[in-house]
Amino acid sequence: DNSIDEAMAGYCDSIQVILNEDGSCSIEDNGRGIPVDKHKKTGKSALETVMTVLHAGGKFGDGGYKVSGGLHGVGVSVVNALSEKVIAEVYRDGKIHMQEYKRGDAGGALKVVGDTKKRGTLITFYPDDKIFDTTEFDFQTIANRLRQQAYLTKGVEISLLEKSTGRKYRFYFEGGIKSYVQHLNKNKDSVGGVVYIEKEVDEGVVEVALQYNNSFQETIYTFANNIHTVEGGMHLTGFKTALTRTINSYARSQELLKEKDGNLTADDVREGLTAVVSVKLGDPQFEGQTKSKLGNAEMRTAVESVFGEALNEFLEENPIDGRAMLGKCLLAARARMAARAARDTVIRKGALEGMTLPGKLADCSSKNAADSEIFIVEGDSAGGSAKQGRDRDIQAILPLRGKILNVEQARLDRILANNEVKNLIIALGVGIGETFDIERLRYHKIVIMTDADVDGAHIRTLLLTLFYRYFKPLIEGGFVYIAQPPLYKIAQGKKIHYAYVEEEKDTYLKSLGKDAKYSIQRYKGLGEMNPDQLWDTTMDPVSRSMLQVTIDDAERADTVFDTLMGAEVPPRKKFIQAYAKKVKNLDI
């Protein structure tokens, strides 16, 4: 973040991140170098002050950064405090200045250790294993973060090297967020060209890029001073307002919307939209410690004005693209009206105070959602075992017949026509689309329980696609789980052991010794277990093991769902070829 601040200020165009073999991480930039002269207030060098004193970052001093991200001016001092050791090298005024720190404190004086023609800063830190459970760096997570920063800071080269494996990336995007949008849309059929605007205004800098595609989901990422504002904020509000108003105005000027027609809604104009909104401003006001929402009201007006004008100009100058984009929005409006009729039918059928629940649902007696669980089970056979083996007070069972619809390739009206999806929506009680209300959730544990074969994995994937695309708050709230039924039953007379993974089976068999007599059964389906076995191994809250579904990287998750479940075949083939050798349990 400090290096990116230097880049945004125009002093740095190269940043290197190296994951060293000894477990440390080095970050080097060719900026001005952290100052090394004496700090007036602390009496220490500016470097030591920045490294050891909270809120001493560049943005808090006079003449610091005009625009900066970072973490409240505490970033590098917090990294220092959470590290077993940090080595700081500054290349400034022809000298190499170096100082070491141990667990947040200076381990010695700042000293000059040589001459150099370079300029910049090199920080190497060793995460403290007394603080962190794991001190290993995740290469792919870091790569994704650096790629994003390179898109947001065009013209800056960011490289990543993992020395132990030799893996490396180099990110450099002259097109900035325009390239970012093209990257996000790479596996989709685009509709129209990329709309792009960057403009300096009194409030700061507004940069917006967008392009439509043939999918039914919207993907909008917003940033303020390169910080990902996950919850949006004023800049997002300004963008959405300008988009809806400008598209409607253009549709009426082209007479594609008649006087009798209602306006396109915000949802209509955002279906299949990929957009990145990035603003840079001198005094960002964030809501909450995590900086997830921008609160500066002036940025709403700035984005609305700058983007609205740019979009209108694009539509006027590119009539073919304009009509393609409008066609997409008008189709979304027609589908919305069809979906509303279908959704009303679903609501009338089932969601009236939960009185008319699906016939296949074996509900629990508890009305306390916090205690209640619903198991979504593959097939009537497993559903029967689960119904008999469950705790009827808190566990509900909903059997699914066959594979549900792949929602990645379907609009809401078609989704609501699918009986299995319809039953699930009614059972959960939260509604879908514009009627979604998480407060009405009937179960705080939603457990996907499928067979341990290829069909089971496919059904699980289809369900996860449905939850990710239409019930994402349920995943974000930690309500969605995946059951972990055993893969093997190993019997020695009356003694039975269940193994949940291959390694556990192998370890257990070794422990029995070479001459041991036993029988081993590989479970393919949940229906192969009797109700007691299913309860003991998979459903009993005391002894079961479950995986909680989480979203660690929304952009990566979005790309994977699009690649694996979308309409385009080539990206899927490429994905399979790339990862085929990593398959552990191949079921043919």
As annotated, the active-site residues are 378, 451, 453, 455
20 and 45 in contact (C-beta within 8 Å)? no
Give me the helices (H) in 275-379, please: 297-317, 319-350
Q: CA-to-CA distance for 431 and 418, rounded, in angstroms? A: 15
114 and 55 in contact (C-beta within 8 Å)? no
Q: CA-to-CA distance for 97 and 518, rounded, in angstroms? A: 68
565 and 406 in contact (C-beta within 8 Å)? yes
CA nearest to 1, candidates 79, 84, 69: 69
442 and 364 in contact (C-beta within 8 Å)? no
**Residue 489: strand pairing partners:** 498, 521
Q: CA-to-CA distance for 383 and 476, rounded, in angstroms? A: 27
Residue 510: CB atoms within 10 Å: 10
* Residue whose tokens read 């700061």: 204
**Residue 161: strand pairing partners:** 18, 168
**Residue 208: strand pairing partners:** 197, 277
Residue 312: CB atoms within 10 Å: 18
Q: Is the dihedral of CA 388, 394, 399, 403 positive or negative?
A: negative
By CB neighbour count within 10 A (0-12 exposed, 13-18 middle, 19+ buried), where does 456 fall? Answer: buried
**Residue 14: strand pairing partners:** 157
Hey, what's the torsion of the CAs at 353, 358, 361, 364, to 10 degrees? Answer: 10
Lookup: tokens for 84: 């077993």
User: Cα-atom radius of gyration of the chain, to the nearest Å?
Assistant: 28
226-241 b/e with 16+ CB inside 10 Å = b?
bbbbeebbbbbbbbbb
481: helix, coil or strand?
Answer: strand
Angle between helices 569-579 and 554-565 in degrees, nearest 10: 110
By CB neighbour count within 10 A (0-12 exposed, 13-18 middle, 19+ buried), where does 444 fall? Answer: middle
406 and 420 in contact (C-beta within 8 Å)? no
Q: What are phi and psi of 466, to 5 degrees?
A: -60, -45
